[in-house]
Structure 1
């Protein structure tokens, strides 16, 4: 079965696809306004989630998980902990550390997406000593 494509909408006539709306809701739930995330980043994230899905569509919690990581990377540790809570910030930090140790997993791919898009908080790059291997 072919994967369903995402849609940004067109001239306000055709609506955004459900997967992008779901990611937007997840971003809001971690206090990152969706308009702060470039559409290209959101499309890439949704496609990564679809590629990683076990069934035909990603599980609803996968959007929230991706949003947590994106928000942390984009607003930094202090901003994320202030908007959410310190325990969640520590969990996301552990996810990033594991992702960098393991290499090619979903979390590592999500971190790479925000790095390549140049929307990652410099303090996050410094804290985790992140580098782009494609440079």
Structure 2
């Protein structure tokens, strides 16, 4: 699931290029609203989503009032700003594997957390990818 515009590096690299390179289907969201995003995540059984922290925050707020079946969502790559511990904890409680990524428009990502990292490690990403 890609809610970022395709004219932005995030949208183009992770919404078009990466899925194309691995033969995956790409689900694009023209304009982000948490309700539309949750409906698509559920309907299309998306396994991965990438977006900034405000996307996660908005989704969590809607999920409090309106549960959705996100069992297919394996992980959510999150970057662009700091992720509050409360947001990370809520994702963990819902079974959403939140992965913090750090990078830049020119080359992303530079640092990521591992899928098996505990929440305490997740909040302090300090290992760069090899050869970066």
TM-score (norm 2): 0.33
Q: Which has the higher strand share?
A: 2
Q: Which has the higher helix share?
A: 1
Report 1 or 2 for greater relative contact order, CA contacts < 8 Å, sequence distance ≥ 6: 1
TM-score (norm 1): 0.33
